[in-house]
Structure 1
């Protein structure tokens, strides 16, 4: 069985966050969603758990960081090609997020952009040329 990842994010407005993640391709799983949390399925192995601040606080005693003011994690998701990178960032921006809060990365064999969700969580979207990875070009170039 492949490993799965569950990204847990604290959100201020659950309904707004669900609408945002649906706009960028997530599908809400009602089996694991209620008025305090929503499970957004990004793929067979990637899930984003959107949790109200009260719900999130049940899992940690640490204060919830303001993702618009601080950075704790950068999330990165792969894309099939450069066009998908651009499309996902455009959909995020039109759904109430911020497109390109960080600089675009374009190394020829690797292309990435980013978006910020309504709560300030930054997602990178990255495409890498499979031929460059297979040839070893990507590893040498990425160290620059």
Structure 2
């Protein structure tokens, strides 16, 4: 009774049991949280490994693509087994542009020939239609 008066009516043995129960719950929660952290770290390590492998694979693909584009752009001076020496992409583009301008020039020349022939035929037709002057 004196203990009850001194503690203000608080049941100390019951409170002590509740504190012990809460400490146990906190320890269990911390242990579960630590397990989750370990599992999450393992997953992150696995993901980082996969990502780094993927990044390395992409780098190798890009390096290979860069070298292939470089070979196409600047040409490969090595001769193949069949004796064909690839000239590269820049050579092909250059040939295409030269061919385009040649065709444009040929088309222009053909237009001039058609105009000349048309003018000659037109003057012949006009000459036939003009009545002869009697004199």
TM-score by length of 1: 0.17
Which structure is larger by alpha-carbon Rg, 1 or 2? 2
Greater helix share, structure number: 2
TM-score by length of 2: 0.18
Q: Whose relative contact order is higher, 1 or 2, with alpha carbons under 8 Å and at least 6 apart?
A: 1
Greater strand share, structure number: 1
